Amino acid sequence: MDPLTHALASYSIQRAAFPRTSRSATIAIVLAGVVADVDLLSSYLGPSAYLAFHRTYFHSVLAALAFALLATLPFSLLKPKGPESKIPHPAIFSAALVTSLCHLVLDTCQTDGVELLWPLSPRRVVMDWLAPLDLWVLGILLAGILLPLLSGLVTEEIGARRKGPRGRLGASLALAALILYLLVRSVFHGDAIAALQSRIYRGELPHKVAAFAESSSPFRWHGIVETERALHDVEVPVGPGSEFDPSSAVTSYKPGPSPVLNAARSSTVAQRFLDVARFPKAAVEQTSGGFHVILRAFPYSRDSGPSLRVQALIDTDPSGKILSEELAWVPSSRAF
């Protein structure tokens, strides 16, 4: 999820559950809900660092606890005067922890997943319910923040008295709508998976399937199906009256098994790449000195824009001996 959506979600949580915190405490709480995305800066250090840090250490429950403690620390050490001195430190810690955990929940609902249990387990938890930039989530959170502001201006204009903290009701309704939206997405995702698993593709049964959300509509999903010989990219409509046509899938065939491909997949770089890529696609090109093997992740989303994508490049001699290997950005990725 993008940092703006995380910031809006954190601010909504603060307004709904902790509305009487001071301005400085609110800033600390919102930052605690956004700071995990600092791992995006690893992209400036190259694709290897990006694979190592993105959605890993900083996107864990342990990191969420650390961020909550860091958000509370200034209020404990500096002992500020004024409104901040009246706010219990456990309340600030609790609010920062909730926003940090909310960050993890939203990112878990996307396609890249997060290493929630690091350092106990490197396994990524992923649900595939939300698009990389979900316009519906963004709209719900913005409405919960902006509409109460407009309502407050109207109330002040007519001289009516305001009951309770401003914006609390709107933020609470926005969070409730967000939870309902996630539940709807989860149901439609299950329907899309069931549709993908129940079909035959170019005469082959599916070995592995996934359905990825598209931000334009919860009724449209981007399906990927892996069979014995190919990867299939297909649109999956769900909901009342929808009809799924597996013959509309765009098929990308895998290269045949070979000693060169097996050697390339066993290389250190390839193993690092395959630990992250959910649907790896290999291409083998013959060169004057042997073979050039490219490993890329089959694209997960049609509307994610020029997102960062990493590829593994391995060169071998004619017998399959590794001559060179590296991780590099896919040319269509954003340049750094």
Q: Are 214 and 221 in contact (CB under 8 A)?
A: yes
Asked if the model's pLDDT at residue 212 lies above 60, the reply is yes
* Residue 19: pLDDT band with limits 50, 70, 90: confident
Asked if the model's pLDDT at residue 320 lies above 70, the reply is yes
C-alpha torsion angle, residues 256, 262, 264, 265 (rounded to 10): 100
Whether a cis peptide bond, with omega within 30° of 0, leads into 119 is yes
pLDDT of residue 228: 94
Of residues 198 and 147, more confidence is placed in 198
- Report the chain's mean pLDDT, rounded to a whole number: 88
Round to whole Å and give the CA distance between 228 and 209: 12
pLDDT of residue 147: 83
**% of the chain with per-residue pLDDT over 90:** 70
Asked if the model's pLDDT at residue 304 lies above 50, the reply is no
pLDDT of residue 136: 94
How would you list the strands of the sheet with 322-329, edge to edge? 280-287, 290-297, 310-316, 322-329
Question: Which segment, 215-219, 291-295, 308-312, is predicted with the most confidence on average?
Answer: 291-295
Segment 246-273 shows an average pLDDT of 92
For 152-176, how does the pLDDT look when each residue is reduced to its tens digit (9 = 90+)? 544 444 444 555 567 788 999 999 9
Asked if the model's pLDDT at residue 32 lies above 90, the reply is yes
pLDDT of residue 160: 47
Asked if the model's pLDDT at residue 205 lies above 90, the reply is yes
pLDDT of residue 300: 59
Segment 77-88 shows an average pLDDT of 63
Question: Tokens for 240?
Answer: 């009342």
